[in-house]
Chains A and B, each alone.
Chain A
Amino acid sequence: MRGKKLEPIIFHTINYTLLVLLCAIMLYPMLNTLALSFNDGLDAVRGGVRLWPRSFTLNNYETLFNVPAVFPAFRISVVRMIVTVITNLIFTSMLAYAISRPENKLGRPITLIIVITMYFSAGLIPHFILRQSLGLLNTFAVLWVPNIISPFNLIILRTYMKGLPESLVESAKLDGAGDFYVYAKIIMPLCKPVLATIALFVAVGSWNEWFDAFIFNSARPDLEVLQGVLRQFLAAAMAHAAGGGDGHAAALAAAAGAPIMVTPLTLRAAITMFTALPILLVFPFLQRYIVHGMTLGGVKG
């Protein structure tokens, strides 16, 4: 009998310990970066700054906001996110409505054509040539025009719309309403919760994207996005590290009395936090919808 009572205690102790350890591993890099971003640069290279700044300063953020590329990139990122979310929601939901209607003869073929695109892409070079031929290279438009339909969200929305009572649409149509009216006045208001979920996911995806600006807008530094600025900082730090490790270099510079107040390490921490901030702010809302959205996505067909 005793063995039977002891086993759950041992099991749950080990289980909880491992889970707490795992949570610590997930949180540590962000918390450490946060602490570093508020720590004095010279002090940080002595090592040992973990979860709390040892020598508190706002210098890193001050320096960051004085870097000329940061604010324009922030603005581009925000505008691009807003434009992407709005256009994506309108066009994806409109198409989802159209293919969710059983009387639409094109519904099934369109669904198939779009689902196929989820599984393969033509590749980087053909996409580059397409954007070049359309005159989209080095424009703001290339950051949102190719993203106005998201196949995964389309299927989620279509599935959700198919689950709504058909009688709502039928009675409206008997009253003479057209599809645009039904879509805008009946279906869209009913889709608010799922639209909110999709909006959040599209916003996060758009915020996190940098590759399109890097490849397609390489001749327009003024169209750089915030993630791209983070990329430049990282690339600079890597180049620096190749010449002796950035901690060493900074420490050497400090020993030689060089007036370096902010080392790459703490400045990099500040730009990382600044780039992650919007995600951390919306995360509490995101997590409420996560399971909801995922399970909806599971219902394909």
Chain B
Amino acid sequence: MEKAKAPIKRSKKSFLRQWQLMLMSIPMLMYVILFSYLPLVGWIMAFQNFRPRFGVGIIRNFLDAEFVGLAHFITLLDASSHTGARFIRALTNTLGQSLLTLVVGFICAIVLSLMLHEVRHNGIKRFIQNILYLPHFLSWMIVTVLVSMTLALPVSGGILNDVLMSLRIIQEPIQFLAEPDYFWGIVAGANLWRNLGWNTIIYMAAMTAIDPNLYEAASIDGANRYHKMWHITLATISPTIILLIIMNIGWLLSSGFEIQFFLGTGPSIARAENIDIFVLRFGIEEHNFGLATAAGVFRTGVSILLLLAANLLSKLMKQETLF
């Protein structure tokens, strides 16, 4: 909508106008700095033996805390110590849960988008899409309750056991939540249920931009449905896919919280406890702020490295990049 730029009159009032704009932006800028950037100062704690004393000013707390250098990071990554082993377990669980979620989520969302794209009747398509979007708006708290009910034993109304047993895939009901080996799959499944429909939106939007003449021309050249899916539809959305993968790699070290925290109790904790829960347990519950902050700093650092690496790899392969 940019018009040929008319010379803006520099009247006496122009300062006043800028002044109003400043009044709109500067307090908000300070707010963002306060709530998003000032906490970064807290990263000092990662290098301190910081244990909060309540009733003492926060600056006093920082000044009094003893500097320990990289000791927290060494503890976290030392598999022979109890804390280190637990952090490495949390790191493995985070990566396992989110990689599984990512891979399953991406493949299913792409396949579902292709399936929806083949639905010719627009009304039916929109109806199906709306049903698929619904779970995304339910809170993780509700999803967690629904997961616990779905996976329960048949006596508590768990449908999954019922279905598997009537299909004769299993003979005996399984206590899914008590078996550590199922936990990563449960996390991935819950994410899939909640976000599958939502994740197709961006692909569907990319697909509507495809010129229908392309399909026609391909048909004349003898291409069948699957040729067209592969060479036209999938080829068109592949830059979107790559961009989304890069963005998601930056999130690999966050695998969610509610399912793991509430359902990963008992023996399952071995496959449930992720970095978020680790930080909560050591920081908020045990007041070991230094160690918990170090875990958080480690996570952010690795996330940024992963994001940069994915972006670089994509650049080297001459594909879409984020920046």
A contact residues vs B (CB 8 Å cutoff)? 7-8, 11-12, 15-16, 18-19, 22-23, 25-30, 32-33, 36, 44-45, 47-50, 91, 94-95, 97-99, 101, 103-107, 110, 113-114, 117, 119-130, 132-133, 146, 148-149, 162-167, 170, 173-174, 176, 178-180, 183, 204, 207-211, 215, 227, 230-231, 233-235, 237-238, 242, 245-248, 251, 265, 268-269, 272, 275-276, 279, 283, 286-287, 290-291, 294-295, 298
Contact = CB atoms under 8 A, between A and B. Distances in A.
B25 A106 contact: yes
A95 B266 contact: no
Given A120-B303, A230-B145, A247-B153, 20 more contacts: A12-B118, A19-B116, A22-B196, A47-B154, A50-B159, A94-B24, A104-B18, A106-B29, A110-B28, A114-B32, A125-B284, A125-B292, A125-B293, A130-B39, A133-B58, A149-B32, A178-B17, A204-B137, A207-B139, A211-B257
A167 B25 CA distance: 22
Contacts of A50: 159
A146 B250 CA distance: 24
Nearest to B262: A234
Contacts of B17: 103, 173, 178-179
A267 B105 CA distance: 32
A106 to B, nearest CB: 5
Contacts of B197: 26
Interface residues on B, range: 35 or more
A170 B6 contact: yes
Interface stretch (B76-84, B85-93, B124-132): B124-132
Nearest to A266: B157
Given A22-B112, A26-B134, A32 B25 contact: no
B195 to A, nearest CB: 11
Please name the 4 residue pairs, one residue from A and one from B, whose CB atoms are nearest each other, closest first: A126-B42, A123-B296, A208-B139, A122-B39
A205 to B, nearest CB: 9
A179 B292 contact: no
Contact of B1 (A110, A124, A164, A276): A164
B202 A127 contact: no
A134 to B, nearest CB: 8
Contact of B148 (A207, A234, A295): A234
Contacts of B213: none
B207 interface: no
B43 interface: yes
B51 to A, nearest CB: 12
